[in-house]
């Protein structure tokens, strides 16, 4: 039997893990990194790049590069307007789904979020097969705990398109708890805070004795590290506009570069009180390219994002309430996701929970490792472990007067099955409209439509005399099946909630599978091309590091006495810095194309200029040391 891997399909990065000797191990990708950027780029000829290569050429191909697709999984809505009763109902439905349709249009072709995610999964699958030396056919994929049924089904569809069977969907905080408590025997209660690139989850679990029981989940699927990055991007764009009168938001390339520096600034401010932001050639308008430099303090960053922090408080309190626990009842708190490294996040967590978080786990890798543990439990590699999960959001149907009647309450242990009896609302009624929803609001209009269908063949009886049983069943993946049965005639209907309002029709999935297979063959690149791209990326990083090392000594605007260098020497260093910056831009531009000879030659030229600047810089430093002696 081939290995079953665990995959953390993340908003910003994706990872895979497998079990070796009963312990989870992260699988490096073909570039040698443990994390693969969740970025897809489609070039003009239809060729697809995924991961680091896609991220590298984003500035040269902004219209063809897709970031953070996970945020749009399962959010499409297909409205069957012919089935709606009147104009008012049509307007209500359109308002409910307004802005939820999301298709990626590149050139003349449209891609669903599932297709884009499948491209990421294909790369992970291929890299894993290369690393392990065997075919991978099955996986466990983690999703945010607060993903609804639509988003979970979309993730399964993405796996199918990628040619890999999804054995189980597992919540990310639960996955982290599996990795954390794999060898734990003592029973205790933990709370997991998971702040990833695009989502925030809080889960409360009881661990011990081989049982992992989820007590409550809550969260926000539109709160994550991306939102913190965008606050920095907006701040920088506003600053630049105030200084130069140019709105960088109208320039897609500039916005991608702002996002890159915003991510770096956010990371820097984890350990620093202030970070210096330098962006060469940020705008090529009138007067030529503009080099721009500014600073961002941690205090300012926390001021810009304070409301995002506050959004984490209420879901945490609600999860505690649902679990019938107080902060003092929690034995240990775990932080998951790279964004939880931010000092402000840790401070608000400590204020809320009254205790320090447990930090002896890798926040970026623990979810993938836990998914591989769940794979091991399912395949029998790990024995004596049981996972008891819950459904995150209530499910029910719309009843008379537009009321949302819940059939399965949130935080109900899954798999589960619940049924309720409903009667006819009018005399001689021969059909019922079964409108299936997910949410917590008392009125149906404010909740999310999953599907709707007609239960026909009901005998014409006086009001209140006809009875229909509606049954909801949720499997271990959180996927819903709905069945209806007329108790007078035994007439029944059963459906798996997916296609019409959010999912992909089966024929469309088959078309995507065929496309995926076709491009999988086309996208096989030679090792030399990968190595050239990796070296180009490394040299860009080396150039950035070299410029940072030179620092203010290459700034011709500073007074001579501040640097200790005479003007001619500073001019040489300044010219060297400019040469390196230009060469870096040329390599980035080359990476956007497919001419690997061009990428190679420009990378070699960048390397030559870095070495030249390094020689001059070391020589001047040595001369100053000798002068002091």
User: Of 3, 70, 138, 485, which is the active-site residue?
Assistant: 70
Radius of gyration of the chain (CA): 28
| Count of beta carbons in the 10 Å neighbourhood of residue 479 | 18
Concerning whether 70 is annotated as a catalytic residue, the answer is yes
Please name which of 321, 142, 310 lies closest in space to residue 216, comparing C-alpha atoms.
321
How far apart are alpha carbons 394 and 405 in whole angstroms? 10
Contact 174, 370 (CB under 8 A): yes
User: Of 114, 115, 127, 194, which is the active-site residue?
Assistant: 194
Please name which of 67, 7, 123 lies closest in space to residue 370, comparing C-alpha atoms.
7
Sign of CA dihedral 609, 615, 618, 621: negative
**509: helix, coil or strand?**
helix
**394: helix, coil or strand?**
coil
How far apart are alpha carbons 249 and 342 in whole angstroms? 26
Concerning whether 322 is annotated as a catalytic residue, the answer is no
User: Of 172, 213, 364, 537, which is the active-site residue?
Assistant: 172
**338: helix, coil or strand?**
helix
Please name which of 422, 400, 420 lies closest in space to residue 409, comparing C-alpha atoms.
420
**426: helix, coil or strand?**
coil
How far apart are alpha carbons 198 and 11 in whole angstroms? 5
Q: Count how many Cα atoms sit within 13 Å of the Cα of residue 360 in the half-sphere of its side chain.
A: 4
How far apart are alpha carbons 411 and 223 in whole angstroms? 21
Concerning whether 293 is annotated as a catalytic residue, the answer is no
The span from the first CA to the last CA of the chain, in angstroms, equals 70
CA distances from 197 to 12, 223, 228, 229, 483 (A): 5, 8, 9, 9, 37
Q: Determine phi and psi for 295, rounding to 5 degrees.
A: -130, 155
Q: Count how many Cα atoms sit within 13 Å of the Cα of residue 248 in the half-sphere of its side chain.
A: 27
State the DSSP H helix or E strand holding residue 527, giving kind and residue range, or none if neither.
helix 527-550
Contact 424, 386 (CB under 8 A): no
Contacts of 387 (CB under 8 A, 6+ apart): 170, 174, 178, 212, 374, 377
Concerning whether 8 is annotated as a catalytic residue, the answer is yes
Contacts of 219 (CB under 8 A, 6+ apart): 144, 145, 146, 194, 199, 200, 201, 202, 315, 392
Please tell me the chain's helix, strand, coil percentages from 3-state DSSP, rounded to the nearest 5.
45, 25, 30
Contact 199, 220 (CB under 8 A): yes
CA 535 to chain CA mean position, Å: 27
Strands 48-50 vs 40-42: parallel, antiparallel or unpaired: antiparallel
CA distances from 518 to 161, 513, 589 (A): 12, 9, 28
| Count of beta carbons in the 10 Å neighbourhood of residue 547 | 20
How far apart are alpha carbons 339 and 225 in whole angstroms? 6
Q: Which residues are part of the catalytic machinery?
A: 8, 70, 172, 194
């Amino acid at each position: 039997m081939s290995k079953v891997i665990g995959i953390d399909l993340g908003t910003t990065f994706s990872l895979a893990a497998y079990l070796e000797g009963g312990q989870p191990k992260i699988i490096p990708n073909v570039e040698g990194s443990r994390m693969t950027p969740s970025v897809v780029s489609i070039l003009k000829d239809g060729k697809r790049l995924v991961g680091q290569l896609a991220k590298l050429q984003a500035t040269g191909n902004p219209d063809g590069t897709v970031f953070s697709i996970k945020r749009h999984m399962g959010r499409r809505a297909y409205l069957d307007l012919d089935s709606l009763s009147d104009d008012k109902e049509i307007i209500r439905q359109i308002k409910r789904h307004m802005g939820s349709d999301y298709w990626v249009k590149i050139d003349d072709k449209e891609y669903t979020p599932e297709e884009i995610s499948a491209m990421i999964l294909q790369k992970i699958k291929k890299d894993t097969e290369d690393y392990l030396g065997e075919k991978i056919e099955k996986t466990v994929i983690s999703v945010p705990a607060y993903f609804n049924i639509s988003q979970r089904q979309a993730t399964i569809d993405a796996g199918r398109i990628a040619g890999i069977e999804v054995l189980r969907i597992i919540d990310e905080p639960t996955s982290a708890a599996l990795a954390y408590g794999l060898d734990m025997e003592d029973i205790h209660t933990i709370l997991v805070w998971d702040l990833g690139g695009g989502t925030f989850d809080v889960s409360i679990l009881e661990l011990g004795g081989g049982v992992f029981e989820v007590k409550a989940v809550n969260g926000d699927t539109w709160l994550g590290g991306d939102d913190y990055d965008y606050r920095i991007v907006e701040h920088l764009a506003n600053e630049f506009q105030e200084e130069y009168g140019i709105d960088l938001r109208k320039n897609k390339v500039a916005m991608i570069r702002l996002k890159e520096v915003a991510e770096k600034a956010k990371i820097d401010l984890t350990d620093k009180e202030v970070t210096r932001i330098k962006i060469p050639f940020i705008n090529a308008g009138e007067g030529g390219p503009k080099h721009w430099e500014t600073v961002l303090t941690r205090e300012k960053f926390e001021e810009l994002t304070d409301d995002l922090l506050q959004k984490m408080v209420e879901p945490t309190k609600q999860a505690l309430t649902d679990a019938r626990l107080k902060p003092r009842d929690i034995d240990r708190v775990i932080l998951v996701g790279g964004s939880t490294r931010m000092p402000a996040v840790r401070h608000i967590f400590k204020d809320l929970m009254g205790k320090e978080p447990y930090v002896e786990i890798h926040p970026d890798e623990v979810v993938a490792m836990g998914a591989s543990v769940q794979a091991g439990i399912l395949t029998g590699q790990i024995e004596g472990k049981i996972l008891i999960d819950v459904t995150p959001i209530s499910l029910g149907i719309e009843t008379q007067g537009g009321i949302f009647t819940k059939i399965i309450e949130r935080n109900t242990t899954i798999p589960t099955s619940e049924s309720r009896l409903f009667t006819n609302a009018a005399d001689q009624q021969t059909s019922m409209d079964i409108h299936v929803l997910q949410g917590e609001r008392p009125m149906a209009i404010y909740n999310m439509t999953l599907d709707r269908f007609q239960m026909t063949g009901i005998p014409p009886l006086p009001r209140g005399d006809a009875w229909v049983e509606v049954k909801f069943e949720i499997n271990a993946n959180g996927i819903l099946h709905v069945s209806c049965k007329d108790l007078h005639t035994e007439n029944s209907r059963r459906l798996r909630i997916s296609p019409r309002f959010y999912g992909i029709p089966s024929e469309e999935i088959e078309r995507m599978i065929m496309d995926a297979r076709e491009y999988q063959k086309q996208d096989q690149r030679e090792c030399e091309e990968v190595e050239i791209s990796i070296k180009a990326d490394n040299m860009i990083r080396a150039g950035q590091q070299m410029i940072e090392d030179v620092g203010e000594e290459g700034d011709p605007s500073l007074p001579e006495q501040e640097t200790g260098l005479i003007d001619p020497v500073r001019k040489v260093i300044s010219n060297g810095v400019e040469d390196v910056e230009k060469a870096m831009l040329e390599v980035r531009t080359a990476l956007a194309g497919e001419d690997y000879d061009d990428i190679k030659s420009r990378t070699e030229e960048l390397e030559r200029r870095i070495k030249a600047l390094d020689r001059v810089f070391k020589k001047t430093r040595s001369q100053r040391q000798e002068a002091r002696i």
